[in-house]
Structure 1
Amino acid sequence: MATESPITSTPRKVATTGSLHALGVLCGLAAGVWLGAAEAPTKLVDAGLSPFAISLYMVAGVFAARWTFPTLLKGTTYVFADLFARKHLIVWAVLAGALWAVANTLTVFAIRDVGLATAFPLWNTNSLIGLLWARLLFRELKGAGPKNLLKVILGTVLIVIAAIMLGFSTIHGGSTTSPHAWRGLIAAAGASLMWGTMYVPYRKAYLSGMNPLSFVTAFTVGELGMMFLLTWTLDGGAHSSAFQLTRNQHLLFWLFLGGFIWVVGDLFQQFATKYLGIGRGIPLSNTNQLWGLAWGALVFGELATADHTHRALVLGGSILMILGALAISTAVASTREHLSRNEALERECERYGLEYREVLLAQSGDEFGTREQRRRWWDVLIVASATGLFIWLASKAFVPPLQMNLHWVAALCVVLLAALLGGGCALWRQTRFS
Structure 2
Amino acid sequence: MSHFDAAKPKSAAAFTHKLGVVCALAAGVWLGGAEAPTKLVNIGISPFAISLAMVLGVFVARWTLPTLLKGTDFVFHDLFTRPHLIIWAVLAGALWAVANTLTVFAIRDVGLSIAFPLWNANSLVGIFWGWLLFQEMRGAGFRTVTRVLGGAFIIVIAATLLGYVTVQHNHSPHAQALHGVAAALGASLLWGTMYVPYRKAYISGMNPLSFVTVFTLGEVGTMALLAVAFGGGAAQLHRELSAARHAIFWIFLGGFCWVIGDLFQQYATKYIGIGRGIPLSNTNQLWGLAWGALVFGELDHVSTPDRWLVLLGSVMMILGAMFISTAVAPAREQDSGRDAISRECEKYGLSFEQCIATQLGHAHGQQKGRRPWWDLLIVAAAIAVFLWLGLKVQIPSLDMNFFWMGVLGAILLFAALSCGWLLWKHTRFS
Aligned to 2:85: 89
1:101 aligns with 2:97: yes
Aligned to 2:161: 165
> Which runs of 5 or more structure 1 residues have no equivalent in the other structure?
1-10
Q: Structure 1 residue runs of 4+, over 6 Å off? A: none
For the residues of structure 2 that align with 1:411 and 1:93, how far apart are their CA atoms?
Answer: 35
Q: CA deviation at 1:41?
A: 0.5
| Percent of aligned positions that are identical | 61
* Change in CA separation of 1:221 and 1:28 when aligned onto 2, cut-off 3 Å: same
For the residues of structure 2 that align with 1:177 and 1:234, how far apart are their CA atoms?
Answer: 23
* Change in CA separation of 1:140 and 1:373 when aligned onto 2, cut-off 3 Å: farther
For the residues of structure 1 that align with 2:324 and 2:253, how far apart are their CA atoms?
Answer: 31
Code of the aligned partner of 1:402 = L
Aligned to 1:259: 255
For structure 1, which segment, 113-122 or 14-23, has the greater mean C-alpha deviation from structure 2 after superposition?
14-23
Aligned to 1:367: 363
For the residues of structure 1 that align with 2:280 and 2:123, how far apart are their CA atoms?
Answer: 9
Q: What whole-Å deviation, never above 9, does each CA across 1:372-429 have from its counterpart, x for those lacking one?
A: 5741100000011101211221122111101101111001001101101111011011
Q: Quick one: which of 5, 29, 46 aligns to 1:12?
A: 5
Code of the aligned partner of 1:12 = D
Aligned to 1:332: 328
Aligned to 1:7: none
**Cα contact 2:296–2:400 (8 A) shared by 1:** yes
Q: CA deviation at 1:117?
A: 0.3
Aligned to 1:25: 21
Aligned to 1:5: none
Q: CA deviation at 1:247?
A: 4.0
Q: CA deviation at 1:150?
A: 1.2
Aligned to 2:274: 278
For the residues of structure 2 that align with 1:374 and 1:356, how far apart are their CA atoms?
Answer: 31
For structure 1, which segment, 178-187 or 276-285, has the greater mean C-alpha deviation from structure 2 after superposition?
178-187
Q: CA deviation at 1:32?
A: 0.2
Counterparts of 1:32-431 in structure 2, within 5 Å, are: 32-173=28-169, 175=171, 179-370=175-366, 372=368, 374-431=370-427
Q: What whole-Å deviation, never above 9, does each CA across 1:177-234 have from its counterpart, x for those lacking one?
A: 6651000111111100110000000000001000000000000000000000001111
For structure 1, which segment, 96-105 or 134-143, has the greater mean C-alpha deviation from structure 2 after superposition?
134-143
> Which runs of 5 or more structure 2 residues have no equivalent in the other structure?
none
For structure 1, which segment, 302-311 or 198-207, has the greater mean C-alpha deviation from structure 2 after superposition?
302-311
Code of the aligned partner of 2:329 = A
For the residues of structure 2 that align with 1:368 and 1:398, how far apart are their CA atoms?
Answer: 43
Output the aligned Cα RMSD. Answer: 1.4
TM-score of the two chains, using structure 2 as the length reference: 0.96
Q: What whole-Å deviation, never above 9, does each CA across 1:103-131 have from its counterpart, x for those lacking one?
A: 00000000000000000000000010111
For the residues of structure 2 that align with 1:70 and 1:174, how far apart are their CA atoms?
Answer: 41
**Cα contact 1:155–1:327 (8 A) shared by 2:** yes
* Change in CA separation of 1:89 and 1:372 when aligned onto 2, cut-off 3 Å: farther
3-state SS in 2 of match to 1:403: coil
TM-score of the two chains, using structure 1 as the length reference: 0.95
Q: What whole-Å deviation, never above 9, does each CA across 1:35-84 have from its counterpart, x for those lacking one?
A: 00111111110011110000000000000011000000000000000000
3-state SS in 2 of match to 1:304: coil
**Cα contact 1:78–1:373 (8 A) shared by 2:** no
For the residues of structure 1 that align with 2:79 and 2:399, how far apart are their CA atoms?
Answer: 45
